[in-house]
Structure 1
Amino acid sequence: MGKTIFLNQENLPSIAGQVSCPSYDRSDIKTGIVHVGVGGFHRAHQAFYTDELLEKGKSNDWGICGVALLPFDDKIYQVLKKQDGLYTLIIKELDGSLSIRVIGSLVEYHFAPENPKAVIEKMANHETKIISLTITEGGYNYDEATGEFIFDNPNIQHDLKNPNFPSTIFGYLAQAFKLRKERGTQGCTIQSCDNIQGNGHITEKMVLSYIGKAEPGLVEWVRNKVSFPNSMVDRITPVTVQKDIELLLRETGIKDEWPVVCEPFRQWVIEDDFCSGRPAWEKMGAQFVDDVAPYERMKLSLLNAGHSILGILGALVGYSTIDEVVNDQEIASFLATFMDKEATPSLGTLEGINLKEYKISLIERFGNQNIKDQVSRICSESSAKIPKFLLPTVKYQIANDENFSHSAFVIAAWAIYSLGKDENESQLEIMDVMETLLYKKAKEAQENPIVFLGIEAVFGNLRDSKNFVSTYLKAYKTIKEKGIKKAIADFKY
């Protein structure tokens, strides 16, 4: 390795000698997209597709203005500001090789807590045609049990009382829509890129719920002028670690303070409902369809649920990365049977999809030893993930009087995981907005395991199913008596 090259716009000519770089003039790109939540996934997915499109010279109207919404997003904001919005995407191929590219589609960036007015103005600007979101499953602020907007969230209460200084996406959108209406600006598309079934429908319902209280006069304008397409997104993108930064520096000489690592696979299925135009992402492999639902169900029930299953079981055994977990043959067999016997029957007919091949590819992707996706990341915010990824399968199986033993086993394992220690008594890193309540109920569940199923915000009325409760109790007892490793090994469908 020769001289270290710091990643920024000025150094791009030098960097281009080492790796693939944008050849388009970034200063000539208009920001037609405002994206909220510029984390690893957005940078490996939507920003990547958009960069490819800009590289092909298809349009200069679809650059991205990133918005760091929350106070703890300051670090990524500072890094991207220092690097002129540039970052390196490191694709770790299954054969161990690397495909490295500098991504240039993020051409503007704002830190919302520092200047909320600038963010509102950007969202309200006539050039902004799409406001896209990766705000995590929990960011949509709805009660799993009722499906309704949670108005007593302190941040929502703050936004209602301080409309010009919002802290949530709902507060920002309300003020941006208000300006667009006042100025006679056309509407825009709100595009969720989060792992929620019917993410466009959920976004629309939550936005209208908030606006109905915050700015009632805007409700009809939003109904008539704003579209909320559903989408399904897929690309495994682990958290960037120091080793990734060092790898990039060692291999290329590029100093990037926050590169993104991902797998080669990518998929994006989008409902074609954009009220103010959109990029031609289909030219880069995205699929526009009339109905995203079947693809969503497939991905959420197989990939996302599979990830959660590997994470929870693997964490209890003591594994650190997902590839370690799936290369445990007993856990891999447990997952494969879950996918075949419980998840697949709930999916119905999927036009153009070979489910057998898809499931085989998932095991290969999970087992990519170059990705090193952290078990703790996969388990994070399980209280928001389990209801969306696993419970739809459970509900289908209950309604059809079918077997749900794997799902019940995983939920029992999650109750034990929520105590905060693996079976070796090592401390688990639990990151969940409901961590305190989960721990409390998990402690109580040691005496009465049904208590854990009583968390209505997660499980709804699941404990009303006698058959499920019975199966769950049996699994809980087995795990406690045998330990997770032996319980999995002895598990019978």
Structure 2
Amino acid sequence: MTTKLSLANLPAIGARARVPTYARADLSPGIVHFGVGNFHRAHMAVYLDELFEAGRDRDFAIVGAGVLPSDHALRDKLAGQDFLSTVVEQSAEVSAARVTGAMVGYETPGDVAAIVARLADPATRIVSTTITEGGYFIDPATGRFDPTHPDIVHDAAHPDAPRTVFGLILAGLRARRAAGLAPFTVMCCDNIPHNGKVTLSTLTGLATLSDPAFADWVATEVACPNAMVDRITPATGKREIDLTAELFGIDDAWPVFCEDFRQWVVEDRFPLGRPAFETVGVQFVDDVSPFELMKIRILNGGHAAIAYPAALMDIHFVHEAMEHPLVAGFLAKLEREEIVPTVPPVPDTDLSDYLGLIERRFANPKIGDTIRRLCLDGSNRQPKFILPTIADRLAAGAPLKGLPMVSALWCRYCAGTTDSGAVTAPNDPAWDRLQAAALAARDDPAAFLAMRDIFGAVADAPAFRDRFAATLAALWRDGTAETLRRYLDGSF
């Protein structure tokens, strides 16, 4: 028998899961969050829940906001359970459920007036985002703001009727400025290099298109701290909903499953104040760059390294990929020989130990993270997680063997079939373009590298270009397993 998740049912649920002991009436909003997905609910919302349990900072509760059609469905599900979420934290040995209550509302997606009013409310001191790597309107090849995107063009022409997160944030900032209120902090929680800097670049880039003087004010007055966030959080499906009911007796319309590890490193720039996150494990630093580069290259780059060979060999779950000796071996050799050496020293961190932790996290069988999720949106992820490492090795004159293989494996994946002939469903916003280029690359590898908005100058480097071409030929001729086997034994 299951119990419907709701405030009224928390006493009954408390026998099977950890539930909030603080009263919802004790909370008041202080944070507006765009992109209320699984990662946010398993990360920042959990840290806040722990603070509220400790009796701290209960004026920093979350109000959600969104702009995508999918945001409506999630808002409706969360509203139907009083904005509570079941978070199932899983180590390899233990699964434990907790119900978090840090969210107290969710503005209706598309209701511009309501969202802007919430942003302009003096109580709002932080606006945070998890809108995916591709949501910042950045040209992948240059790393600069792209003013030509149709949504940006729309918001520049209609700043009072925005349809992007950044247009809404700017409308809120304009309202605060007109009312004589100080601007809120904009805190990016996405896996993007220099994510605070990127956020500010997009805000000022969009503002410049309609009001350069306002853009100057944003650049001067709005704090956008850089941050590194980390917690493996797979997508929710029927499996997770059913497991929550079976293991914990909770009827949750959209539970969150995640690993038991979490990390958050943030630059301490919050002019209007912030929750005492340091009391619940968040690390505040003057410069997040070393932590960020370590995570993006070793973890996110590692995800890319295992994703495409596993997909081509019809492996479904990430932990199953780590059980395959060729995939695990490829990850280990690539990381130790080509990725980790590009990461500068990180305070109080042994990079070898960090890599070992990453390998153990990937291998956790309880998480149920899928290879398909790791393969998603390669056109945005390759330029952030793989190609910069390649560029650094090229600049240093260092050998390139495994990294070009990652890009070639991605190309082979985009061709749309696995080694067994199974069809790969579209898995990228640019899938049609990628598939056409990948199929053309079977005969002419340069056809894939011609996407300069993705590959940039890296495509011109013979050390990368030749190894990419050789790997792609081997993948089509010999298959993924044999190509990996030859890489591992040193014959390729």
Q: Which amino acid aligns with 2:354?
A: Y
Task: Tell me how far apart the structure 2 counterparts of residues 243 and 478 of structure 1 sit (CA, whole Å).
Answer: 37
Shift of 1:65: 0.6
1:72 pairs with 2:56 = no
Cα offset for 1:125? 1.0
1:396 Cα deviation after fit: 1.0
Corresponding residue for 2:286?
Answer: 290
What residue number does 2:463 align with?
467
User: Is the aligned partner of 1:387 residue 2:383?
Assistant: yes
1:144 correspondence with 2:140:
yes
CA contact (8 A) 1:24 1:55 kept: yes
Alignment of 1:147-158 (within 5 A): 147-158=143-154
Which of residues 300, 304, 308 is equivalent to 1:308?
Answer: 304
Aligned position for 1:98: 95
**Equivalent residue, structure 1, for 2:327:** 331
Distance 1:252 1:112 in 2: 31
Could you tell me whether the CA contact under 8 Å between 2:408 and 2:471 is conserved in 1?
yes
Gaps of 5+ in 1: none
Aligned position for 2:126: 130
Match of 2:394 among 369, 379, 398: 398
Aligned residues: 489
Cα distance in 2 between the residues matched to 1:104 and 1:7? 11
Partners of 1:379 and 1:430 within 8 A in 2:
no
Give the distance between the partners of 2:6 and 2:134, measured in 1 at CA: 33
**How do 1:47-446 and structure 2 match up within 5 A?**
47-95=45-93, 97-113=94-110, 115-446=111-442
- Separation in 2 of the partners of 1:27 and 1:157? 42
Q: Which amino acid aligns with 1:190?
A: V
Which structure 2 residue ranges, 5 or more long, are not aligned? Answer: none
CA distance in 1, matches of 2:291, 2:426: 30
Q: Distance in 2 between the 1:173 and 1:456 partners?
A: 31
CA contact under 8 A between 2:236 and 2:257: conserved in structure 1?
Answer: yes
- 1:26 to 1:215, Cα distance in 2 relative to 1, 3 A: farther
Q: Counterparts of 2:87 and 2:239 in 1: how far apart (Å)?
A: 14
Measure how far apart 1:239 and its partner are.
0.6
Displacement after TM superposition at 1:215 (Å)? 2.9
* Structure 1 residue matching 2:55: 3-state secondary structure: coil
Amino acid at match of 1:46: M
Shift of 1:231: 0.3
Moved over 3 A (4+): none
Code of the aligned partner of 1:104 = G
Task: Find the counterpart in structure 2 of residue 452 from structure 1.
Answer: 448
Q: Report the secondary structure of 1:107's partner residue.
A: strand
The one-letter amino acid paired with 2:171 is Q
Tell me how far 1:214 sits from its aligned partner: 2.5
Give distance in 1, aligned partners of 2:187 and 2:475.
42
* 3-state SS, counterpart of residue 107 of structure 2: strand
Asked if the contact 1:33/1:62 (under 8 Å) is kept, the reply is: yes
**Hey, what's the Cα distance between the residues in 1 that align with 2:326 and 2:26?**
54
SS at match of 1:237: coil
The Cα shift of 1:20 comes to 0.9
How far apart, CA to CA, are the structure 1 residues paired with 2:370 and 2:108? 27
Displacement of 1:60 in angstroms is 1.2
Farther-moved stretch of structure 1 (167-176 vs 156-165): 156-165
After TM superposition, give the deviation of residue 391 of structure 1 in Å. 1.1
Tell me the amino acid that sits aligned with residue 360 of structure 2. E
Deviations 1:82-137 (A, max 9, x none): 11110100011111x21110000011111221x11101111111111100000100
Please give the per-residue CA displacement for 1:357-412, whole angstroms capped at 9, x wherever unaligned: 11111111101111111111111111111111111210111111112211111111
Q: CA deviation at 1:149?
A: 2.0
- The separation in 2 between residues aligned to 1:51 and 1:214, in whole angstroms, is 39
Report the Cα offset of residue 141 of structure 1: 0.3
Separation of aligned partners in 2, 1:155 and 1:201: 21
> In angstroms, what is the RMSD of aligned CA positions?
1.2
Structure 1 residues 262-310: Cα deviation after superposition (integer angstroms, max 9, x where no partner): 0011110101111211111111111000111011111000100101111
- SS of the residue corresponding to residue 461 of structure 1 reads helix
The CA distance in 2 between the partners of 1:215 and 1:173, in whole Å, is 15
What TM-score comes out, normalization by structure 2 length?
0.97
Q: Give the CA deviation at 1:487.
A: 0.7
Counterpart of 1:107 in structure 2: which amino acid? V
Q: Percent identity?
A: 36
Q: Which residue of 1 aligns with 2:38?
A: 40
User: Shift of residue 217 of structure 1?
Assistant: 3.0
Counterparts of 2:24 and 2:304, CA distance in 1: 39
**Cα displacement string for residues 432-465 of structure 1 (whole angstroms, at most 9, x for unaligned residues):** 1111111111121112011111111111111211
Displacement of 1:158 in angstroms is 2.1
Q: CA deviation at 1:254?
A: 1.3
CA contact (8 A) 1:380 1:430 kept: no
Deviation at 1:30, TM superposition (A): 1.4
1:345 counterpart SS class: helix
Preserved CA contact (<8 Å) 2:97 2:248:
no
Letter in 1 for 2:109: A
Residues 290 and 346, structure 2, Cα contact 8 Å, conserved in 1: yes
Say if 2:71 and 2:109, in contact at 8 Å, map to a contact too: no
Q: Does 1:22 align with 2:20?
A: yes
Looking at structure 1, the residues matched to 290 and 174 of structure 2 have their Cα atoms a distance apart, in angstroms, of 35
AA paired with 2:97? I
Contact 1:174–1:214 (CA under 8 A) maintained in structure 2: no
Answer yes or no: is the 8 Å Cα contact 1:174–1:215 preserved in 2. no
Q: Equivalents in 1 of 2:297, 2:182: separation in Å? A: 37
Verify the 8 A CA contact 1:117 1:164 in the aligned structure 2.
no
Q: Which amino acid aligns with 1:422?
A: T
CA distance in 2, matches of 1:69, 1:262: 25
Give the structure-1-normalised TM-score.
Answer: 0.97
CA deviation profile, 1:334-373 (whole Å, cap 9, x unmatched):
1111111111111122221011111111111101111111
Residues 319 and 364 in structure 2, CA contact (< 8 A), matched pair in contact too: yes
C-alpha deviation, 1:71, in angstroms: 1.4
Cα distance between partner residues in 2 of 1:258 and 1:234: 21
